[in-house]
């Protein structure tokens, strides 16, 4: 299959996946778009919203339109790291009486991981995902085991202000390509939700992509050329968040205690390349970077006391920095 045919197939798969997910998820077009961009770019997603907005249903629906292994981990205050990665157990051969340790794989050994309510568990357990998310491998019992590719962590969290939640460590947050926010549906969408979920019919979703298909799409994204001005904007935007540097934007100096690292610029460019391809364009432009600035940056910024006292949201800070850098 030549390059154009592969790109056409990728775009067709994207449209088909959106159509299938729409059978279950009403509205939320921006949310679905951002999740699929991350999927084709090979990034992890942190989905945030108050309870009852179908975060878990959205992720499970996404897994149902792909022919990939799927595991759900329900994060609770008593969850231990070994409950995620797996652990060694001592087994005895009843024939010989010989005893030996055997590693039992945890739920992390799947292509798609739903980390449900990830901020309901303390940072010690949250950190069990760090190596898996960054290196696609797990170390346990002195052994390092590779995870299957593709590998995605799709996590949900309730707003930090909710009772019984633990803020995610900055190192954990930085592993997520996007922080996607889900808001309440419009009146018309909520009417459709109620009508579609109180009847007897259940949606039957068709599987669109296999594991090799996903890896092929990710390879196509890596080969997309990027103009110098697009990369330049992504890098300048990220550097403008870093407080105390000559390149820091005025809003960063006023409202931030800590800015984003180089991984944010990488995710901006990868996301822009993917968005352009899925939109039928051969290379990204400046608007792609601007469009993805909020989901890439909002979870990587640490606000200072002044921002909290003035109740200035991170999205507002990103907008101010974007206006200053991009004009």
Share above pLDDT 90 across residues of the chain, in percent, rounded to a whole number: 30
Whether 65 and 17 have beta carbons less than 8 Å apart is answered as yes
pLDDT on residue 201: 62
| Whether residue 51 has pLDDT greater than 90 | no
Find the range with the poorest average confidence among 5-14, 26-35, 142-151, 159-168: 159-168
- In this predicted structure, what is the pLDDT of residue 46? 93
- Average pLDDT of the chain is 86
Q: Which residues contact 326 (CB under 8 A, 6 or more apart)?
A: 233, 237, 286, 289, 290
Which has the closest alpha carbon to 296: 259, 324, 325, 254?
259
Comparing 118-127, 260-269, 296-305, 314-323, the range with the smallest average pLDDT is 118-127
57/51 Cα distance (integer angstroms):
12
Please state the domain extents for the chain.
1-77+111-130+148-197+207-223, 224-327
Which pLDDT band, with edges at 50, 70 and 90, does 199 fall under? Answer: low
Assign a CATH topology to domain 224-327: Helicase, Ruva Protein; domain 3 (1.10.8)
Options 1.10.1040.10, 3.20.20.20, 3.10.180.10, 3.40.50.300; CATH of 1-77+111-130+148-197+207-223: 3.40.50.300
For residue 222, pLDDT over 60 is answered with yes
Q: Are 189 and 26 in contact (CB under 8 A)?
A: yes
Angstrom CA distances, 106 to 115, 289, 309, stand at 13, 37, 43
Helical ranges in 151-210 per DSSP H? 170-174, 187-197
Model confidence at 136: pLDDT above 70: yes
Positive or negative, the Cα torsion across 122, 178, 113, 58? positive
Structural contact between residues 168 and 48, judged by C-beta atoms closer than 8 angstroms: no
- The whole-number average pLDDT for the span 100-115 is 85
Digit-coded pLDDT (tens) for 179-193: 998 888 778 878 877
In this predicted model, what pLDDT tens digit does every residue of 145-169 receive, in sequence order?
888 889 999 998 887 666 667 888 8
pLDDT computed for residue 236 by the predictor: 95
CA distances to 120, 135, 225, 237 from 163, rounded to whole Å, are 9, 32, 46, 34
- In this predicted structure, the answer to whether residue 195 has a pLDDT above a threshold of 80 is no
Contact 228, 261 (CB under 8 A): no
What are the angstrom distances between the C-alpha of 40 and each of 62, 129, 138, 214, 323? 12, 21, 23, 7, 28
Q: What is the pLDDT of residues 246-297, one digit of tens each?
A: 888 889 999 998 899 999 999 999 999 999 999 888 899 999 999 999 999 9
């Amino acid at each position: 299959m030549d390059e154009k045919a592969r790109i056409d197939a990728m775009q067709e798969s994207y449209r088909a996946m959106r159509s299938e997910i729409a059978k279950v998820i009403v509205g939320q077009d921006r949310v679905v778009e951002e999740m699929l961009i991350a999927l084709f770019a090979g990034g992890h997603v942190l989905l945030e919203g108050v309870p009852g907005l179908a975060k878990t249903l959205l992720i499970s629906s996404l897994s149902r339109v792909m022919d990939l292994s799927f595991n759900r981990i329900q994060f609770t205050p008593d969850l231990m790291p070994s409950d995620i990665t797996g652990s060694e157990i001592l087994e005895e051969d009843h024939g010989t009486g010989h005893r030996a340790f055997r590693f039992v794989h945890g739920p992390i050994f799947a292509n798609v991981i739903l980390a449900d309510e990830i901020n309901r568990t303390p940072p010690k357990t949250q950190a069990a995902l760090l190596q898996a998310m960054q290196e696609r491998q797990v170390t346990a019992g002195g052994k390092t085991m590779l995870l299957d590719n593709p590998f995605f962590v799709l996590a949900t969290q309730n707003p930090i202000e909710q009772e019984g939640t633990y803020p995610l460590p900055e190192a954990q947050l930085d592993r997520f390509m996007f922080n996607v926010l889900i808001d309440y549906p419009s009146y018309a969408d909520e009417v459709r939700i109620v009508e579609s979920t109180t009847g007897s019919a259940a949606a039957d979703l068709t599987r669109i992509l296999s594991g090799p298909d996903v890896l092929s799409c990710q390879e196509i994204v890596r080969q997309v050329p990027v103009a110098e001005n697009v990369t330049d904007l992504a890098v300048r935007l990220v550097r403008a968040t870093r407080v105390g540097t000559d390149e820091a934007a005025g809003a960063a100096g006023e409202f931030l205690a800590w800015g984003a690292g180089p991984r944010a610029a990488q995710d901006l460019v990868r996301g822009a390349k993917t968005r352009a391809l899925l939109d039928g364009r051969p290379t990204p432009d400046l608007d792609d970077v601007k469009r993805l600035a909020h989901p890439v940056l909002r979870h990587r910024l640490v606000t200072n006391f002044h921002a909290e006292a003035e109740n200035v949201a991170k999205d507002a800070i990103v907008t101010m920095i974007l206006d200053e850098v991009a004009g």
